[in-house]
Amino acid sequence: MLAVLAPGQGSQKPGFLNPWLALPGAEARLRWWSVLAGVDLVHLGTEADAEEIKDTAKTQPLLVAAALLAAEHLPMHDAGVVAGHSVGELAASALAGVLTPEAAVTLAGVRGREMAASCALEATGMSAVLGGDPDEVLAAIEAAGLYPANRNGAGQVVAAGSLAGLEKLAAAPPAKARIIALQVAGAFHTPYMAPAEEALGKVAAGISAAAPSRILLSNLDGTAVDHGPTMLLRLVRQVTAPVRWDLCMQTLADLGVTAIVELAPAGTLAGLAKRALKGIEIVTVNTPDDLPAARDAIARHGGAPTHEPHPEFSVVVAGTAGTFEPAEGLAEGADIGAGQVIGAIQTRQGPVEVAAHGAGVLTEWLAHHDDPVAPGQPLARIGGQI
CATH number of 275's domain = 3.40.366.10
Q: Residue 189 catalytic?
A: yes
Each residue's pLDDT, cut to its tens digit, for the chain (386 residues) gives 999 999 999 999 999 999 999 999 999 999 999 999 999 999 999 999 999 999 999 999 999 999 999 999 999 989 999 999 999 999 999 999 999 999 999 999 999 999 999 999 999 999 999 999 999 999 999 999 999 999 999 899 999 999 999 999 999 999 999 999 998 999 999 999 999 999 999 999 999 999 998 999 999 999 899 899 999 999 999 999 999 999 999 999 988 899 999 999 999 999 999 999 999 999 999 999 999 999 999 999 987 455 544 334 577 888 888 999 999 999 999 999 888 999 999 998 889 999 887 788 998 898 999 999 887 788 988 876 43
Same-domain check for residues 33 and 75: yes
Answer yes or no: is 286 within a domain: yes
Answer yes or no: is 177 within a domain: yes
Q: Which of 16, 320, 58, 10 is nearest to 156 (CA)?
A: 10
Cα 331 to Cα 100, 116, 373, 383, distances in angstroms? 37, 51, 19, 14
For the chain, the domain total comes to: 3
Query: Taking the alpha carbons of 197, 201, 207, 212 in that order, is the dihedral positive or negative?
Result: positive
Same-domain check for residues 255 and 333: no
CA separation for the pair 72, 64 (Å, rounded): 13
Same-domain check for residues 94 and 207: yes
Residue type, 294: A
Other C-beta atoms lying within 10 Å of the C-beta of residue 330: 15
Answer yes or no: is 307 within a domain: no
Q: Residue 86 catalytic?
A: yes
Catalytic residue among 34, 86, 118, 127: 86
CA separation for the pair 41, 325 (Å, rounded): 49
Same-domain check for residues 93 and 195: yes
Taking every pair of C-alpha atoms in the chain, what is the biggest distance, in angstroms?
Answer: 63
Cα 170 to Cα 145, 146, 319, distances in angstroms? 13, 12, 37
User: Between helices 101-119 and 88-95, what is the axis angle to 10°?
Assistant: 170
CA separation for the pair 339, 270 (Å, rounded): 37
Same-domain check for residues 48 and 92: yes
Query: Taking the alpha carbons of 280, 83, 272, 290 in that order, is the dihedral positive or negative?
Result: positive
Identify the domain boundary among 301, 336, 371: 301
Catalytic residue among 85, 162, 189, 218: 189
Which 3 state secondary structure label does DSSP give 346? strand
Answer yes or no: is 79 within a domain: yes
For 124, the domain range is 120-182
Answer yes or no: is 306 within a domain: no
pTM for the predicted model, two decimal places? 0.83
